[in-house]
A and B are shown apart, each in its own frame.
Chain A
Amino acid sequence: MAWFKKTRKPMASSTADKPSRVPEGLWVKCPDCAQLIYNKDLEKNLSVCPKCAHHFRISAAERLRALLDGAWTEHFADLSSNDPLRFTDTKPYRDRLRTTRKNTGVNDAVLIATGRLEGIEVVVAAMEYSFIGGSMGVVVGEKITRAIEIALDRNLPVIIVSCSGGARMMEGVLSLMQMAKVSAALARLDRARLPFISVLTDPTTGGVTASFAMLGDLNIAEPKALIGFAGPRVIEQTIRQKLPAGFQRSEFLIEHGMLDLVVDRRDMKAAIARALRFMRAEPAPVEQPLAAAAAATPDA
């Protein structure tokens, strides 16, 4: 699979998280429990450590594969940033974009797809962390807005899987405004009574958290994901203290009332499907309550 072989060199994230992406090679060492895992086994397990359930970071394409029933249609893949600010730091943003496009094989930090999730037609936006830290610039904002507009047009639920360090600095205030733009589209989705499931993965920070990631009808996080507005280092500088263990992790957020669910990646698809069936009043296709199943079996 081409997406898996590509060299990925994610930009250093602003957070102090461990490198968590599946490395190249046959064997992978889990950063949490040090278990050696055969690459193919890890892949089959949706990149979750079979021993300790550490969630490795996955690409947007892997995410779609994990959530959707089979083939999907990708949309707006050819949108790309034209470097509106002509931004240069230690190197020109233009060069950074070119290199990143080549290394990741995608044009910006989000993939938009329509497909089926347990048979339910959905629009999914999956963020690609290896593209400049999954940062939200004008292309990410526009593509997610268009995804929401597809949903409005075709009466579909929206799922956004966040994995992002926040707004993209190299597009300045234009990237800041994407928070407003996507949120405005979500206001329309909300008024149209269409479902929006926000899935928060490690990391979801800054302007992404402070806009669409927190606006789900349900906000569902993967375990131990870093989720916050300000980066931990910025907060430490402000309060001049070390932050407590687990601060800004999924389990901290759900205790503080900001998340509906923390769900293991291997159960995510089923959890979203259940939520969508509640929201869309779709019949439960496979599972039946235990009592009903027992009653239906004559010799039970």
Chain B
Amino acid sequence: MPPDTLEFEEPITVLLKEIEALSMLPQTPERQQSIDGLYRRIESIRGEIYASLTPWQRVLVARHPQRPTVLDYVERLFTEFTEISGDRRFADDHAIVAGFARYKDEPVLVVGHHKGSGDTKQKVYRNFGYARPEGYRKALRAMKLAEKFRRPVFAFIDTPAAYPGVESEERGISEAIAFNLREMAALDTPVVVIVHGEGGSGGALGIAIGDRILMHEFAIYSVIPPEGCAAILWRDSNRKVEAAEALKLTAPDLLGFGIIDEIVPEPTGGAHTNHELAAALLDTALERALALVSSMAPELRLDARYQKFRAMGNIGISEP
């Protein structure tokens, strides 16, 4: 089954329908040839569309329901993954996954948001990736485990936001995120952050402090969702397309601002079109990033991490 097409992929949808119609007819070599031809056309159209996506289109790609999750990457790139649960305070939050595994045979720790893939039941189980305080506390507990045993951390970022609900506030979502920001800044082990889907505001940042920040080609990272921004500043959430433009939330924008270190290429048409290839492309970037941060002396690494975040935003300041 081809992945669901997005609204701006209309020409592809049309061709896919043609293919579907042809496939219902009895198979002949000629018919198969036309089907293959149509697939090639799809590939070339995809290439054209994805070469010049608007920021809002990138938002849609980043939120694609079939976009690979942290566990899709873990399954393809890591071995011996053992998921661990709970914050030892209140509960286990399924919107954030934590566990240990091997990467290139080296023991590592993985944390990451998970929006839930597949049916609605799965998505509800993961709370659509909206983490509660216990999720952030679980993630930090796991990362402290990595620090204790001197294992590197991979943090996978993909969340719309921290969960904006009553119980989040009651249990201190602000404190949970704030505490992670402070403790991750000083976490004495290498940390590689991968913004592979939706970098939704403080909910994303709460597990996204590290030595090397990678971001997928069509991922987004923003202070507020475009819809929310449009509702507040334009007083009309339908102005989300303009808001997405204004917020400068794309990977090339963030690279230009010095917020991320590297863009991870995606398959033409986005990571959701080919999980295997997406994983292979990430593998190359991950291996290089891990080697880089692991080679640094711990003291220098922590200082470099501090200076990295210390410098963020300074391009926006005028000082006479």
Contacts and interface: CB of A to CB of B under 8 A. Distances in A.
A235 B201 contact: no
Nearest to A90: B234
Interface string B179-208: 101110110000000000001011001101
Nearest to B187: A187
Contact of B179 (A168, A177, A214, A234): A214
B315 interface: yes
A235 B165 contact: yes
A81 B319 CA distance: 9
B313 interface: yes
Contacts of A179: 177-178, 181, 202, 205
Interface in B101-128: none
Interface in B211-242: 221-224, 228-229, 232-234, 242
B224 A184 contact: no
Interface string A133-166: 0000111011001000000000000000000000
Contacts of A191: 186
A180 B202 CA distance: 9
A141 B166 contact: no
Interface residues of A, number: 64
Interface stretch (A18-26, A37-45, A204-212): A204-212
Contacts of A215: 178-179, 182
Contact of B202 (A137, A190, A206): A206
B174 interface: yes
A104 interface: no
Interface in A171-224: 171-181, 183-188, 190-191, 206-207, 209-215
A176 B202 contact: yes
Interface string B18-47: 000000000000000000000000000000
Interface in B163-183: 163-166, 168-175, 177-179, 181-183
Contacts of A80: 317-319
B2 interface: no
B166 A229 contact: no
Contacts of B155: none
A183 B182 contact: yes
A173 B185 CA distance: 18
B310 interface: yes
Given A89-B233, A174-B259, A184-B310, A235 B181 contact: no
Contacts of A184: 181-182, 185-186, 209, 305-306, 309-310
A180 B181 contact: yes
Given A138-B316, A238-B164, A173 B246 contact: no
Contact of B318 (A14, A81, A145): A81
B281 interface: no
Interface stretch (B62-70, B247-255, B267-275): B247-255
Chain A, interface SS category: helix
Given A228-B169, A229-B169, A142 B246 contact: no
Contacts of A239: 165-166
A247 B169 contact: yes
B221 A173 contact: yes
Interface string A90-106: 10000000000000000
A91 to B, nearest CB: 10
Nearest to B181: A183
A94 to B, nearest CB: 12
Contacts of B177: 179, 210-211, 229
B314 interface: yes
Given A142-B317, A169-B233, A256 B171 contact: yes
Given A85-B247, A187-B182, A138 B314 contact: yes
Q: Taking each of A179, A207, A210, A248, which has the highest tally of chain B beta carbons within 10 Å of its own beta carbon? A: A210
A40 B162 CA distance: 44
A3 B179 CA distance: 36
B249 A78 contact: no
Contacts of B169: 228-230, 235, 247-248
Contacts of A62: none
A173 B206 CA distance: 14
B257 interface: yes
B312 interface: yes
B315 A175 contact: no
B231 to A, nearest CB: 10
B317 A212 contact: no
B96 to A, nearest CB: 16
Given A180-B185, A209-B174, A211-B178, A79 B166 contact: no
The 4 closest A-B CB pairs, nearest first, are: A84-B316, A230-B164, A138-B313, A183-B181
Given A138-B313, A167-B224, 11 more contacts: A79-B317, A83-B316, A167-B223, A172-B248, A176-B222, A177-B205, A178-B313, A179-B181, A180-B209, A210-B174, A247-B169
Interface of B: 162-166, 168-175, 177-179, 181-183, 185-186, 199, 201-202, 205-206, 208-209, 221-224, 228-229, 232-234, 242-243, 246-249, 253-254, 257, 259, 305-306, 309-310, 312-320
